[in-house]
Structure 1
Amino acid sequence: MGSNGQEHANGFHDGFHASGTAGKVITCKAAVVWGPEEPFVMEEVQVEPPQKMEVRLKILFTSICHTDLSAWKGLNEMQRVYPRILGHEAAGVVESVGEGVEDLKEGDHVVPIFNGECGECPHCRSHMTNLCARFRVDPFKSVMAGDGQPRFSVLDPATGKRRPVYHFLNTSTFAEFTVLDSACVVKINPAAPLQKMCLFSCGISTGVGAAWNCANVKEGSTVAIFGLGAVGLAVAEGARLRGASQIIGVDINSEKFGKGREMGITKFINPNDCDKPAHEVIREMTKGGADYSFECAGNLDVFREAFMSTHDGWGLTVILGIHPTPRLLPLHPMELFDGRRIVASVFGDFKGKSQLSDFVDKYMNGETKINLDGFITHEMPFTEINQAFQLLSEGKSLRCLLHL
């Protein structure tokens, strides 16, 4: 595969019509997980044609998010549906569309989104939320919305029969071809480099959007970010672009601080190196507390530190981390009477279908100067997905870009 995602996409499109795959079952490679923490297996899977209001994509690039890592580990037993194709951060080209799909066509450059937008339900028509009544993010959903069946299957060597392979987060991008509900596919500028655009599927949109759309970070404000993975650093990018005067990064891995500086973080705290709780350190540094804090670690103890680090009277804590355990929030209700507020953000409060393409356009025309290159720390072939997961698990990568 060439290094230019545009050429790759066009190359696929140029030979696409002659392939005649529309309406037919496609056999392709997919990274299938068969159980919690079991190595991904490159399987020959069959991918059915898209049905009504569905789209089949050729995935060209996919990257790995901590949500994929949590699902692979099986941290929530209700998510343990196998065999399954994980992955939700990707970019590719439309191979074919099902009946009724009018906003997408063969050859369109697209990114899949785990938090869909049908455009018709009361939620989608409301400016108060970016959740969709039917296609919102659902980690427990493993089949298509139309008929309740998966579109993948694999040959079971034990029986000689085909068995279903289940979907993940409305997307399943760890495959050369995948089928999505059209509500979960966003057409983007064809000039945009697809190898970078996959970051808009999750990490960049989630973090930057949390700073812009959810918190509405103000110029000159102070921000504390707990957890400096890709989402936390995307929050830093969003805060930097909004003109925050002080951006404090908190992480127990000090090796992340160098990358954090590239993303605009001005001060760092490793709680393991402190003789007092991180929230007390932050209150001293900011003369009372941060205006905004962002919890990006998915840890309730970290969440409490984030909440307590904000300024009384107006501090806002935004929850972005995935919390798989059934533990409840470690707060006394009276602590909320100090004026501190808490909110959670899904996909950075972006409405995917109606707002994400504009976000991409602003990046392309230079209006939004996000350091996308800084987030892609590794690139490797799709077949090396197990190594990529190991890098993320060890905290050695932000985003590993897999070339399909």
Structure 2
Amino acid sequence: MATNGYSNGGSTKGKPIKCKAAVAWGPGEPLVMQEVEVAPPARMEVRVKVLFTSICHTDLSFWRGENERQRRFPRIFGHEAAGVVESVGEGVEDLAPGDHVVPIFNGECGTCAYCHSSATNLCGTYRVDAFKSTMVSDNGTRFSVVNTSGDTVPVYHFLNTSTFAEYTVLDAACAVKINPAAPLEKMCLLSCGISTGVGAAWNTANVSKGSTVAIFGLGAVGLAVGEGARIRGASRIIGVDINPEKFAKGKEMGITDFINSKACGKPVHEVIRELTDGGVDYSFECSGNVDVLREAFVSTHDGWGLTVVLGIHPTPRMMPLHPMELFDGRRITGCTFGDFKGKSQLPLLVDQCMQGEVKINFDGFITHEMPFSEINEAFRLLEEGKSLRCVLRL
């Protein structure tokens, strides 16, 4: 079977594969494009040929080693991607070689109490774990590399995915089979950014038609929240950021009002309350800053306002809220992967996009496209705020 120029023919099934990967050897060090060996998938695992991958701020955070517990190297980062199943391990029944898949960092086994519950999209075994760096079945790795001393050493995994490699091994619970007609260079964004933001508006907040929304942080996730709110018919979508250069892109993506939090002359929540007659119905914190989180919380209307936390908070600082403030009727909640159950619900979303039933502006998020070999340049663009999503072609 040939798919997007990829053909397996069974020649590599059950055998190690040598391929190129971008290996991180230490925090903040440039990624090294080098040959790695990728072991065959073990029981309930799949090996995937990665065709497209993109870079998220979470990759940057872990690469920098902002939290000491995250510093496990060498490591292969990356968690937004799309590709084709090369082979499957024992026990895998829902995936087969040639299937088009999107890796997800928040897995779904489909059998545990969590997966059976409609109240959560977490899984008892395969939920996201920021500090996990090995496979579930044996706590081992499927990557190895020869270091500068000539020794073969294990290379650690990242967020259940490790997509900065031509081939990767995933738990089958972390691979979503999608419509083979869907363009993989766009579908890779469903691995994290778009699913997280759109899902936060749809599933977590359940934004209603005619409501008001404030989004704190206009990166890819924040803009995806805006997409979700726009599709749901929000009447006013306020974008807040310290970088006014992001406002043009925000307007393109459907955000109606903008606040430069560094230049507004008063606390942002006061500005928002004035704009919206007492506060917005929903606020979304996408910056990972606890001070911004407080502004997001108090920018909502008392009595019914809801704040959804999406930002990654690497510091040990606690949430700056007093318990008595919750008695004003404002609520706050976190959101993982947009509260989508990945394997159950993403295939339907892809089909709806393909059929035109849901119109998500995938192209608006892709600001750069590059070959995989230029991954360090892609990191630089994201770090400097010059890109939303750079899609790398492997």
TM-score normalised per structure 2: 0.99
Is 1:217 the counterpart of 2:207? The answer is yes
1:16 equivalent in structure 2: 8
1:3 equivalent in structure 2: none
Q: Secondary structure at the match of 2:238?
A: strand
Q: Percent identity?
A: 74
1:67 equivalent in structure 2: 58
Q: Secondary structure at the match of 2:377?
A: helix
1:5-404 equivalence runs, <5 A: 9-12=3-6, 15-17=7-9, 20-158=11-149, 160-404=150-394
Whole-angstrom distance in 2 between the partners of 1:376 and 1:360: 17
| 8 Å CA contact 1:84, 1:168 repeated in 2 | yes
Structure 1 unaligned regions, length at least 5 = 1-6
Superposed CA RMSD in Å reads: 1.0
Whole-angstrom distance in 2 between the partners of 1:218 and 1:342: 17
Q: CA deviation at 1:8?
A: 8.6
Q: CA deviation at 1:157?
A: 2.6
Whole-angstrom distance in 2 between the partners of 1:308 and 1:10: 49
Q: CA deviation at 1:333?
A: 1.1
CA deviation profile, 1:173-227 (whole Å, cap 9, x unmatched): 0000000000000000000000000001111100000000000000000000000
| 8 Å CA contact 1:64, 1:399 repeated in 2 | yes
Moved over 4 A (4+): none
Whole-angstrom distance in 2 between the partners of 1:393 and 1:153: 28
Whole-angstrom distance in 1 between the partners of 2:147 and 2:224: 41
Whole-angstrom distance in 1 between the partners of 2:215 and 2:128: 24
Whole-angstrom distance in 2 between the partners of 1:235 and 1:188: 23
CA deviation profile, 1:281-317 (whole Å, cap 9, x unmatched): 0000001000000000000011001001000000000
Letter in 1 for 2:53: T
Whole-angstrom distance in 2 between the partners of 1:10 and 1:42: 23
Q: Secondary structure at the match of 2:3?
A: helix
Q: Secondary structure at the match of 1:273?
A: coil
Q: CA deviation at 1:11?
A: 1.7
Q: CA deviation at 1:161?
A: 2.1
CA deviation profile, 1:102-145 (whole Å, cap 9, x unmatched): 00000000000000000111100100100001000011000000
Letter in 2 for 1:356: L
Structure 2 unaligned regions, length at least 5 = none
Letter in 2 for 1:271: S
Aligned in 2, Cα 1:85/1:8: closer, same or farther, shift over 3 Å? farther
TM-score normalised per structure 1: 0.96
| 8 Å CA contact 1:9, 1:92 repeated in 2 | no
Q: Secondary structure at the match of 1:391?
A: helix
CA deviation profile, 1:315-342 (whole Å, cap 9, x unmatched): 0000000001111001111111110000
